[in-house]
Amino acid sequence: MDLQQLIDRAEIADAITRYTLAVDEGDFDRLDTVFTPDAQIDYTESGGVADAYPAVKAWLAEALPGFSTHRIHMLGQISYEFDDSGDEAAVAAYFHNPMRIADGKGGERVVEVGGLYRHAFVRTTDGWRSRRLHEQVVWTRGF
């Protein structure tokens, strides 16, 4: 592994962190620094939508406030597979995402999703951006 690939890996990890912070904090415009304008995103395994980035961004802004403002992602291992040009990478990041939601009785309960974020990253003039995200759900709890 050379220095450029180490830098690329760090920049991709930073993009994934920006993604989780944007979702957790409800700052959906920050997602513009994560995805290409034509990115395809698939959240169907967790009950969400699959569509082009602009539609999914709008859906997130509408759907996530149903969960409390106490959303948090925890990321684990990240794998990187660069193509021969070094300008594209298949990336998988383990995640655990507990959230609080109304329990229908005036209180809240915790729901959790765990799995892998599978991205197709591409180097752009603005840095590394995801042009495809598939949220692969491995387990859930509390739904």
- Output the pLDDT for position 135: 98
DSSP-assigned letter for residue 72:
-
Tens of pLDDT along 9-35? 999 999 999 999 999 999 999 999 999
**Tokens, residue 134:** 């598939």
Q: What's the confidence (pLDDT) of residue 99?
A: 86
The one-character DSSP state at 105 is: S
What spatial distance separates the first Cα and last Cα of the chain, rounded to whole Å?
A: 42
pLDDT of residue 69: 62
The token pair that represents 45 in the structure block: 């395994």
Low-confidence ranges of the chain (pLDDT < 50): none
Read off the tokens for 118: 């599978």
Are 95 and 71 in contact, with CB atoms under 8 Å apart? no
The per-residue pLDDT for 120 is 98
The pTM of this model reads 0.92
Q: Distance between alpha carbon 36 and the CA centroid of its chain, in Å?
A: 13
